[in-house]
Homo-oligomer: A and B are copies of this chain.
Amino acid sequence: MTEKNLTMLTDFYEFTMANGYFEKGIADRRAYFDMFFRRVPDGGGYAIMAGVEQLIDYFKNLHFTEEDIAYLRRRGCFSESFLNYLREFEFACDVWAVPEGTPVFPGEPLVTVAGPMIQAQFVETMVLLTINHQTLIATKASRITRAAQGRTVLEFGSRRAQGYDGAIYGARAAYIGGCQGTACVLADRDYKIPAGGTMAHSWVQMFDSEYEAFKAYADIYPDNCVFLVDTYNVLKSGVPNAIRVARDMVSEYGIRPRGIRLDSGDIAYLSIEARKMLDAAGFPDMQIMASNSLDEYLVRDLLVQGAQIDSFGIGERLITSKSEPVFGGVYKLAAVENGQGEIVPKIKVSENVEKITTPHFKQVYRLFDKATGKALGDVITIHDEVIDAALPYVLFDPIHTWKQRVVSDYTVRPLRVQLFQAGKCVYQNPAISDIRSYCLAELDTLWEEIKRFENPQTYFVDLSRRLWDCKHELLESCRI
């Protein structure tokens, strides 16, 4: 596989617009773009931010090769002076983003890119593609691992992922969202996501009998034995052979196998029966792992039915977020500087009311209750507003403005960090295991009502009074 220069992974209209700004002499006017989303997948109450590290890689490597320029010249619609600009291109934007692992909510600017219009516009496709994908999978992983109530959840979906990066970065995002590991070797080698695995049905079939297959595996990997017991018949063949080999192992090596894996059939029934057989044989410590098209709903139902499962391998329904495979982030113009260096807020109106944007260069704050440590809500403000935690703060609903709430005894934290300053990276990516721990800790600051699978309570995301006024003035002014 040859190296892919992802600079060209963009929609064609980014080039027609870039060339257009260039030709019209407005390429260097400073513009502010926000990436945000409108609703949480699966009707959930929160999403988990992910993909920032790959977005930083993209910005750092933005450049056009001679091959790219030759391709664009062949298209016949770009000026030579524009192609020369691309040849000399250096990323010069400021970028802010919510750190990976943070619970985020609809309407919040997760990423803001500010800089020369021609650049801030151009990066749209990759900002969206990168954050949409990983945030989708991290969010799904958070739901599934919460359903497992502390049991181990491993990501097993590479073979059903949507493309190679879907597998690799999907494994990364799943880990951020709460999975303990993956089956994907490349994700371990390159991104330190712990990878593991034991045997497929084909291993069992390669030997003359299931017993010989298990026995051969135990000879080689006595420390890591998980027997796949459903190649022929789980209760009549698989589990009895696993027990027989377990006894061999105890007598030959003094080592006990880790457990068994179920990959088909009625997992609830089979796990309960297998548990009884393992216990009766003197192996209550052998664990039962389950896989087979599971997701948060099936995991929850299995546990409600008393399934005896210690760990879950989750494949296609996690790696594609099958029940809702799209994270609908958008990238919209929020402001432009005029000739005098003043920020002019911009709005996009729409006949679909939920598609109306919130204008201006913004900041986001999260307020926490001092007594409980729980998050009270988020406030989106104009960029230069400061919330003084020494004073009470009035939260109000930006749609139902009569809904107000005065909070005091709170702490406040800006939700976003700066990634780039004038094109230079000013952010150090945390270790992936720290991101995962941070995610779990931040989830603890959300009330359980926000984290319900269905019909969760809506988390407060309010606009400051100044921002609300700005938005409504713009809305009034563009009535047609």
Query: Which residues of the partner chain B approach A167 to less than 8 Å between Cβ atoms?
Result: 9, 129, 163
A132 engages B158 (CB within 8 Å): no
Interface string of A289-318 (1 = CB under 8 A from B): 000000000000000000000000000110
Query: Which residues of the partner chain B approach A268 to less than 8 Å between Cβ atoms?
Result: none
Chain A residues touching B, range: 35 or more
Assess whether A138 is interfacial by the CB under 8 Å rule: no
A31 engages B206 (CB within 8 Å): yes
Within 8 A of B (CB), among A308-350: 316-317, 320-322, 325-329, 331-333, 336, 346, 348-350
| Separation of A224 and B163 alpha carbons in the complex (Å) | 33
Do A230 and B351 form a contact, CB below 8 Å, given A165-B165, A206-B117? yes
Assess whether A441 is interfacial by the CB under 8 Å rule: no
Across the two chains, which residue of chain B brings its CB closest to A231? Answer: B348
| Separation of A17 and B216 alpha carbons in the complex (Å) | 10
Contact among B17, B219, B223 for A199, CB-based, below 8 A: B17
A326 engages B160 (CB within 8 Å): yes
Interface string of A57-93 (1 = CB under 8 A from B): 1100100000110010000010000000000000000
Across the two chains, which residue of chain B brings its CB closest to A29? Answer: B206
Across the two chains, which residue of chain B brings its CB closest to A10? Answer: B185
A15 engages B185 (CB within 8 Å): yes
Query: Which residues of the partner chain B approach A24 to less than 8 Å between Cβ atoms?
Result: 216, 220
B158 engages A133 (CB within 8 Å): no
Query: Which residues of the partner chain B approach A219 to less than 8 Å between Cβ atoms?
Result: 23
Assess whether A20 is interfacial by the CB under 8 Å rule: yes
| Separation of A360 and B230 alpha carbons in the complex (Å) | 21
Do A197 and B478 form a contact, CB below 8 Å, given A162-B133, A202-B333, A348-B231? no
B349 engages A16 (CB within 8 Å): no
Assess whether A176 is interfacial by the CB under 8 Å rule: no
A13 engages B199 (CB within 8 Å): yes
B316 engages A320 (CB within 8 Å): no
Assess whether A33 is interfacial by the CB under 8 Å rule: yes
- Most chain B CB neighbours (cut-off 10 Å) among A15, A17, A332: A17
B349 engages A480 (CB within 8 Å): no
A156 engages B206 (CB within 8 Å): no
| Separation of A21 and B202 alpha carbons in the complex (Å) | 11
Contact among B196, B202, B233, B322 for A326, CB-based, below 8 A: B322
Query: Which residues of the partner chain B approach A326 to less than 8 Å between Cβ atoms?
Result: 160, 316-317, 320, 322
B11 engages A156 (CB within 8 Å): yes
Query: Which residues of the partner chain B approach A327 to less than 8 Å between Cβ atoms?
Result: 160
Do A189 and B71 form a contact, CB below 8 Å, given A125-B158, A165-B166? yes
B1 engages A197 (CB within 8 Å): no
| Separation of A190 and B16 alpha carbons in the complex (Å) | 19
Across the two chains, which residue of chain B brings its CB closest to A346? Answer: B205
A328 engages B160 (CB within 8 Å): yes
Query: Which residues of the partner chain B approach A190 to less than 8 Å between Cβ atoms?
Result: 4
| Separation of A160 and B129 alpha carbons in the complex (Å) | 6
Query: Which residues of the partner chain B approach A165 to less than 8 Å between Cβ atoms?
Result: 163-166
B13 engages A164 (CB within 8 Å): no
| Separation of A57 and B164 alpha carbons in the complex (Å) | 13
Assess whether A168 is interfacial by the CB under 8 Å rule: yes
Assess whether A121 is interfacial by the CB under 8 Å rule: yes
Across the two chains, which residue of chain B brings its CB closest to A187? Answer: B9
Query: Which residues of the partner chain B approach A350 to less than 8 Å between Cβ atoms?
Result: 230, 264-265
| Separation of A10 and B171 alpha carbons in the complex (Å) | 12
Within 8 A of B (CB), among A1-47: 1-6, 8-17, 19-21, 23-24, 26, 29, 31, 33
Query: Which residues of the partner chain B approach A5 to less than 8 Å between Cβ atoms?
Result: 1
B348 engages A77 (CB within 8 Å): no
A333 engages B195 (CB within 8 Å): no
> What are 5 inter-chain pairs, A to B, with CB distance below 8 A?
A15-B197, A68-B189, A132-B159, A160-B328, A232-B480
9 residue pairs, one from A and one from B, having the closest CB atoms: A163-B165, A13-B197, A12-B197, A128-B159, A162-B162, A325-B325, A163-B166, A265-B351, A202-B333
Q: 19 other contacts beyond A121-B200, A133-B162, A230-B351, with CB at 8 A cut-off?
A: A1-B57, A6-B186, A9-B158, A11-B159, A14-B197, A16-B199, A23-B219, A31-B206, A71-B189, A124-B159, A160-B327, A163-B163, A163-B165, A201-B332, A202-B332, A232-B349, A234-B351, A316-B326, A325-B325
